Amino acid sequence: MRVDVLLPAGQRRPHRRAGRHPNAPDVAGLVTGTVAGSDADGDTLTYSAPTSSNFGRGAVSINAATGAFTFTPTAAARHAAALVGGLPGLSADTFTITVRDGYGGVTLVPVVVSIGTANNAPTAFATPGAPIAGTGVVTGTTTASDPDNDPLTYSGSTTTSKGTVVVNASTGAFTYTPTIAARNAARVPGAPASALSDTFTITVADGHGGFALAPVSVAILPSNNAPVASFALSSSFPNGNFVNNLTGWTAINSRVRMGGADSVAGRPTPVDPTTAPDGGTEASSLTTQSYTTTVTNGRAVMTSNLGGVVNTPPGSGGVVHGPVVVSNDPIFIRGGATVQFDWEASAGQDAYDVLAYILEVNTGATSLMLNATGTQASPNQPVTVVNFPVVTSGDYKFVFVSGSWDATRGQAAGARLSIDNVKILGNIPLNGTVTGSVTGTDADGDTLTYAVTSAPTNGTLSAFDSATGAFTYQATDPNNPATDSFVVTVTDGFGGSAAVTVTI
């Protein structure tokens, strides 16, 4: 560092000796250096400096005899100098050294020192949660701390080979969403461990050059279709809820006249006790007709489309019944039991006329469970539950009759009747023992297990097979059995489940 010493008049101008610039900060942030001066008169030189730098970022000490100095920055100054994107001036400070020869000769030497940065890096770790059933999404948190109490930011939003990651920059909370392809790969039997998880890294930065890496490993939830479950009792008929088809039932897709004019299940049809609101009865004839029965959304749907309806009596709306759905096999029903089902009907521009009855196959006796007629054109009946008490024990079949009456008297008609959830409640055999099974189906072909998740209250399950869903129910009081129920949950081992309420 060059030093020129200016002396008062009469003294010779001094010459300088070699000096050097300050050293770079050491690991502790200290900056050392020396101001070396020379004097032509051979005067002894002294050196002085302020105890604090010009911007107050550190302390200055100097050897008065040699000019050797030390700059010690404050911890705050060193940390401020480490600020990413901070002002350039934060990384330096200045002070002035004064050189004297004892005879009035003085020179000022400005010194610029660099401030060595100092920072303590944060620490962090991530905690992922379990995959959410159905979606496979994983949420989690990042926990971080910083010795300098610096505000922290989080990054790591990315797309991996198996999913996407979104990281909250302020909190470190993250959401991982696996791809469908990754979930499908995870459910392949014998899938390698690499297919069952994904990894990514969350970076925590303190804004002063310090950062921490938090590795994250998340589980890949295999894709899955939940099972579907239903139940059947040995004392009941199959497929009362029409899950997939009309198995156990026969559809008569034609006109069926009531009042014994036609027969169903080998027995004459009962009388329709209600005429059309305007006095109309069975139409004498019609020229075009179509009848269809389908299973739609788990409901048996009977539809008719009619033309050229000859109304009887003239001026009234003629009635035409059909299609009809009848159960194939008779079921013993004890007096006091209840037949339950739900129904809904509509009729376009005309009106519906629908019936439901049970037929005792040994005697031909019928008991009407439903007799409903729309009172005006275009009526719609929402889904309605019927509970019909059976008075006399017997072997019964179930008959559901769709029908329409020409409410507009335009010689065209047609209606739609749908039924579902046909059950027999309280039909416990004399010994109080009922057997049955819960059946589950799984689109993925997964192995299903069965568990009772809510027990019966008026009896006990004397046997239950967790592998097949078969059960044996025993009423507490066989002589006075009461309606009872319990819940069985079917699981597929991949997070999918279905609960079914078994009604006895």
What CATH number corresponds to the domain at position 87? 2.60.40
**1 domain residue, yes or no:** no
Which single residue is written with the structure tokens 């009423």? Answer: 475
**227 domain residue, yes or no:** no
Q: In sequence order, what are the residues at sequence separation of 6 or more whose Cβ sits closer than 8 angstroms to the Cβ of residue 143?
A: 124, 125, 126, 127, 172
Q: Which two tokens stand for residue 342?
A: 């739900």
pLDDT per residue rounded down to tens, the chain (504 residues): 333 444 444 454 343 343 446 889 998 999 999 998 888 888 899 999 999 999 999 999 999 999 999 999 999 999 988 888 878 788 899 999 999 999 988 999 999 999 988 888 999 999 999 999 889 999 999 999 999 999 999 999 899 999 999 999 999 999 999 999 999 899 888 889 999 999 999 999 999 989 999 999 999 998 888 899 998 876 556 678 887 788 899 999 999 999 999 999 999 999 999 888 888 888 888 899 999 999 998 899 999 998 888 888 888 888 999 999 999 999 888 888 899 999 999 887 788 999 999 999 999 999 999 999 988 776 789 999 999 999 998 999 999 999 998 888 888 888 899 999 998 887 777 678 888 899 999 988 889 999 999 999 999 999 999 999 999 999 898 877 778 899 999 998 877 899 999 987
Q: Which two tokens stand for residue 335?
A: 């007096």
Q: Residue 218 in contact with residue 161, Cβ under 8 Å?
A: no
**233 domain residue, yes or no:** no
Angle subtended at Cα 50 by Cα 47 and Cα 56, rounded to the nearest 5 degrees? 145
pLDDT attached to residue 235: 54
Backbone φ, ψ for residue 417 (5° rounding): -125, 130
Compute, in degrees rounded to 10, the torsion defined by CA atoms 354, 358, 363, 364. 20
pLDDT attached to residue 266: 95
Residues 284, 403, single domain; the answer is yes
C-alpha to C-alpha distance for 478 and 432, rounded to whole angstroms: 4
Residues 469, 321, single domain; the answer is no
pLDDT attached to residue 9: 40
pLDDT attached to residue 504: 79
Residues 41, 91, single domain; the answer is yes
Q: In sequence order, what are the residues at sequence separation of 6 or more whose Cβ sits closer than 8 angstroms to the Cβ of residue 98?
A: 47, 48, 49, 106, 107, 108, 109
C-alpha to C-alpha distance for 52 and 60, rounded to whole angstroms: 5
C-alpha to C-alpha distance for 226 and 134, rounded to whole angstroms: 9
CA atoms within 13 A on the CB side of 145: 1
User: Which of 174, 194, 219 is the last residue in one of the domains?
Assistant: 219
Q: Which two tokens stand for residue 32?
A: 């050392």
User: Which of 423, 450, 475 is the last residue in one of the domains?
Assistant: 423
Tell me which residue of 4, 239, 212, 256 sits closest to 106, measured CA to CA.
Answer: 4
Q: Residue 420 in contact with residue 400, Cβ under 8 Å?
A: no
Q: Which two tokens stand for residue 74?
A: 């404050």
Q: Residue 340 in contact with residue 425, Cβ under 8 Å?
A: yes
Q: Give whole-number Cα distances, 320 to 102, 379, 403, in Å.
A: 133, 17, 6
**52 domain residue, yes or no:** yes
Residues 95, 202, single domain; the answer is no
pLDDT attached to residue 454: 96
**469 domain residue, yes or no:** yes
Tell me which residue of 303, 324, 321 sits closest to 251, measured CA to CA.
Answer: 324
Kindly tell me the number of DSSP H helices and DSSP E strands found in the chain. 2, 35
**104: burial class by Cβ within 10 Å (0-12, 13-18, 19+)?**
exposed
Residues 411, 322, single domain; the answer is yes
> What SS3 string covers 199-248?
EEEEEEECCCCCEEEEEEEEECCCCCCCCEEEEEECCCCCCCCCCCCCCC
Q: Which residues is 110 bridged to in the sheet? A: 96
Q: Give whole-number Cα distances, 341 to 128, 212, 237, 242, 422, in Å.
A: 48, 64, 13, 12, 4
Residues 127, 187, single domain; the answer is yes
**243 domain residue, yes or no:** no
Residues 446, 411, single domain; the answer is no
Range(s) of the domain holding residue 474:
433-503
User: Which of 423, 451, 469 is the last residue in one of the domains?
Assistant: 423
**315 domain residue, yes or no:** yes
Residues 260, 149, single domain; the answer is no
Q: Which residues is 144 bridged to in the sheet? A: 124
Residues 328, 391, single domain; the answer is yes
DSSP letters spanning 274-336: ---TTS--B-SB-SEEEEEEEEETTEEEEEEEEES-B-SSTTS--EEEEEEEEESS-EEE-TT
Cis-peptide, bond into residue 189, ω within 30° of zero: no
Residues 315, 416, single domain; the answer is yes
Q: Residue 93 in contact with residue 77, Cβ under 8 Å?
A: yes
Residues 322, 345, single domain; the answer is yes
Pairing between β-strand 249-252 and β-strand 459-464 as defined by DSSP bridges:
unpaired
Q: What is the largest CA-CA distance in the chain?
A: 151
Backbone φ, ψ for residue 175 (5° rounding): -130, 125
C-alpha to C-alpha distance for 357 and 373, rounded to whole angstroms: 15
Tell me the pTM: 0.47
**4 domain residue, yes or no:** no
Structural domain count of the chain: 4
C-alpha to C-alpha distance for 113 and 108, rounded to whole angstroms: 16
Residues 61, 143, single domain; the answer is no
